[in-house]
Amino acid sequence: MRRRSPHTAIWVAALCGVLQGDFLHAESGQNAWLRYAPLDERAAQMYESLPASVTVLGSSAVLETAQGELIRGVRGMLGKTLRAGMGPPKENAFVLGTLKAVRAEVPEFSARNESREDGFRLATGQVRGFHCVIITASTDRGVLYGVFALLSRIARSESIAAVNEAQEPYAPIRWVNQWDNLDGRIERGYAGRSIFFENGSVRADLKRVRDYARLLASVGINGCTINNVNADPRILEDSFLPQLARIANVFRPWGVRLSVAVDLSSPKRIGGLDTFDPLDSRVTEWWRKKVDEIYQQIPDFGGFVVKADSEGRAGPSTYGRTPAEAADVIAHALAPHGGIVFYRAFVYNHHLDWRDPKNDRAKAAYDIFHPLDGKFADNVNRTRIHGAAAASVFSSFHVERGSGFRPACGRRHHTAERSRSGPHVSSPHGRVRWRRECWDGPKLAGTSFSDGKSLWLRPSGVGSQSEREDDR
């Protein structure tokens, strides 16, 4: 047997150490799938004739973000720094703008997806005599999504010389739900402390929130509920609203709307009332005023997530009221502002004796909510776990699905909840899954949900379970 020189072993160990050190330094994971690693020389040659500038038709924070992201991505992958401009192009350029703005410059320009919110188109064509790569959409947010799609093509070394691609989202409501507590802990979180809260307040440094919003936008997520569904009522206190506005200001340039989970008993616990009965006119007025205060500081506020009468949380049953009556009093306050309610239908008596086979908590959603079918306001989405129980991994049937239960809200939505896994946020699997189900339509057990039904998803992560909830 040939013996290996000790000097060789030392050199191999040293080389591995150097390479490992460089790798760890370069791959911190901070940018996740948006690291824009340089292409190899052969792949980069495909893009030598790319335009040298990027111009924006219009003015908004989201369009400015889209322009900056395109510059950042091209610089990282190709080593070129695009010149930034505004208005009609004065040379060959990337042109970013809504369909309305693009058609003002190119009247004959058409797009197949102009009727679907946030859908976008990538195309090439002449603008004022210059050869341009056009990224357009019905909304500014859609333009940003188009930029991410174009950069993804470059990252995969795909040609964009004659690109002609249109995409549109399956679900207009695409939210992610955090389970962060105001003290900085994350319930069932395995990836460190909250990026939003610390010691009962919003963190002073929100840089990581900005990075997170960027990741969400890159896969088409347009809303984020930042706190635990087991909500702390303090999040609605007057003194806390300016702190929420700071987070909303960070989200806004990325097209992400802020929402929060609320405690249904807030009118009593922080509002000075002696009740939170949803049919009490004082409670109705309290929610109306509170919602108005929120929109004064956060004009694009998304809405509320409500967990009530579940696992010890206060709910309408305290006063003999129904979930529909509770949800609607909040929904009516949000409706004039375009806000929505996600009311969790995961309602059951958590003190039931599990040894009694008649105690079926999965069936509880049917027993409680089926009689209320058609009684919820149009801007209420009922969300519930899809499967026999919370721990089901890939269950394909729920008692509500076989009941003829109709959607409470006609709008399709897709949400991802960070309840059982912290690491999934930076997981490539999570990225692909969110992207496919938000844009292409979710599939479960071989059945497409693209028939107008809504979906709630808890994406899986390292060492976690995957759960699905379906808004019915």
Residue 62 lies in a domain: yes
Is residue 266 within 8 Å of residue 298, measured between CB atoms?
A: no
**What pLDDT, on a 0 to 100 scale, did the predictor assign at position 264?**
97
Whether the pLDDT of residue 238 is over 90: the answer is: yes
Cβ-in-10-Å burial (0-12, 13-18, 19+) of 451 comes to: exposed
Q: Are residues 337 and 256 in the same domain?
A: yes
Q: Are residues 126 and 232 in the same domain?
A: no
Section 227-256 average pLDDT? 97
**What pLDDT, on a 0 to 100 scale, did the predictor assign at position 114?**
58
Q: Are residues 88 and 219 in the same domain?
A: no
Helix (H, G, I), strand (E, B) or coil at 248: helix
**What pLDDT, on a 0 to 100 scale, did the predictor assign at position 428?**
44
Q: Per the structure block, which two tokens stand in for 81?
A: 């720094």
Q: How far is CA 379 from the centre of its chain?
A: 18
Domain count, the chain: 2
Which run of H or E residues covers position 413?
Answer: strand 413-417
**What pLDDT, on a 0 to 100 scale, did the predictor assign at position 20?**
46
Task: With CA atoms as reference, report the closest residue to 413 among 385, 437, 389, 443.
Answer: 437
Distance CA 52, CA 261 (A): 45
Strand pairing report for 385-386 and 467-469 = antiparallel
- CB neighbours of residue 178 within 10 Å: 25
Could you read off the pLDDT of 31-74 as tens digits, one per residue?
888 999 999 999 999 999 999 999 999 999 999 999 999 999 99
Section 93-116 average pLDDT? 83
Residue 245 lies in a domain: yes
**What pLDDT, on a 0 to 100 scale, did the predictor assign at position 98?**
95
Residue 8 lies in a domain: no
- In the DSSP assignment, the letter for residue 437 is I
What are residue 225's phi and psi, to 5 degrees? -90, 115
Domain boundary (103, 132, 167) is at 167
Q: Residue 30: which pLDDT band, with cuts at 50, 70 and 90? A: confident
Whether the pLDDT of residue 461 is over 90: the answer is: no
Q: Are residues 378 and 316 in the same domain?
A: yes
Q: Per the structure block, which two tokens stand in for 221?
A: 């997520």
Could you read off the pLDDT of 311-369 as tens digits, one per residue?
889 999 999 999 999 999 999 999 999 999 999 987 877 777 778 777 777 677 788 88
Is residue 335 within 8 Å of residue 379, measured between CB atoms?
A: yes
Q: Are residues 279 and 299 in the same domain?
A: yes
Whether the pLDDT of residue 398 is over 70: the answer is: no
Q: Are residues 214 and 343 in the same domain?
A: yes
Whether the pLDDT of residue 420 is over 80: the answer is: no
Is residue 410 within 8 Å of residue 443, measured between CB atoms?
A: no
The reported pTM is 0.82
Q: Residue 201: which pLDDT band, with cuts at 50, 70 and 90? A: very high
**What pLDDT, on a 0 to 100 scale, did the predictor assign at position 211?**
96
Section 83-111 average pLDDT? 92
Q: Are residues 431 and 286 in the same domain?
A: yes
Residue 50 lies in a domain: yes
Residue 4 lies in a domain: no
Range with the largest mean pLDDT of 11-15, 308-312, 385-389, 428-432 = 308-312
**What pLDDT, on a 0 to 100 scale, did the predictor assign at position 41?**
93
Is residue 456 within 8 Å of residue 417, measured between CB atoms?
A: yes
Q: Are residues 183 and 88 in the same domain?
A: no
Q: Where are any strands of DSSP class E within 313-401?
A: 340-344, 380-383, 385-386
Section 426-441 average pLDDT? 53
Q: Are residues 214 and 76 in the same domain?
A: no
Strand pairing report for 197-198 and 173-177 = unpaired
**What pLDDT, on a 0 to 100 scale, did the predictor assign at position 24?**
46
Residue predicted with more confidence, 171 or 91: 91
Instruction: Look at 228-232, 282-286, 419-423 and tell me which has the smallest mean pLDDT.
Output: 419-423
Question: CB neighbours of 47 closer than 8 A, spacing ≥ 6?
Answer: 39, 78, 154, 160
CATH code of the domain containing 138: 3.30.379.10
Q: Are residues 462 and 398 in the same domain?
A: yes
Q: Are residues 130 and 240 in the same domain?
A: no
Distance CA 264, CA 257 (A): 22
Q: Are residues 274 and 393 in the same domain?
A: yes
Which residue type occupies 403? S
Section 178-200 average pLDDT? 91
- CB neighbours of residue 17 within 10 Å: 10
Helix (H, G, I), strand (E, B) or coil at 288: helix
Q: What residue has token string 């080593």?
A: 79
**What pLDDT, on a 0 to 100 scale, did the predictor assign at position 10?**
40
Whether the pLDDT of residue 92 is over 50: the answer is: yes
Q: Residue 112: which pLDDT band, with cuts at 50, 70 and 90? A: low
**What angle (nearest 5°) sits at the alpha carbon of residue 235, between those of residues 296 and 270?**
95
Domain boundary (167, 200, 222) is at 167
Domain coverage including residue 100: 41-167
Whether the pLDDT of residue 229 is over 90: the answer is: yes
Domain boundary (114, 146, 167) is at 167
Q: Per the structure block, which two tokens stand in for 44?
A: 């980069």
Q: Residue 191: which pLDDT band, with cuts at 50, 70 and 90? A: confident
Section 432-456 average pLDDT? 42
Residue 113 lies in a domain: yes
Q: Per the structure block, which two tokens stand in for 436?
A: 């496919």
Section 251-262 average pLDDT? 98
In this structure, the chain runs to a length of 472
Whether the pLDDT of residue 176 is over 80: the answer is: yes
Residue 224 lies in a domain: yes
**What angle (nearest 5°) sits at the alpha carbon of residue 381, between those of residues 334 and 282?**
40
Distance CA 56, CA 86 (A): 5
Helix (H, G, I), strand (E, B) or coil at 230: coil
Q: Residue 466: which pLDDT band, with cuts at 50, 70 and 90? A: very low
CATH code of the domain containing 419: 3.20.20.80
Residue 24 lies in a domain: no
**What pLDDT, on a 0 to 100 scale, did the predictor assign at position 64?**
98
Is residue 396 within 8 Å of residue 436, measured between CB atoms?
A: no
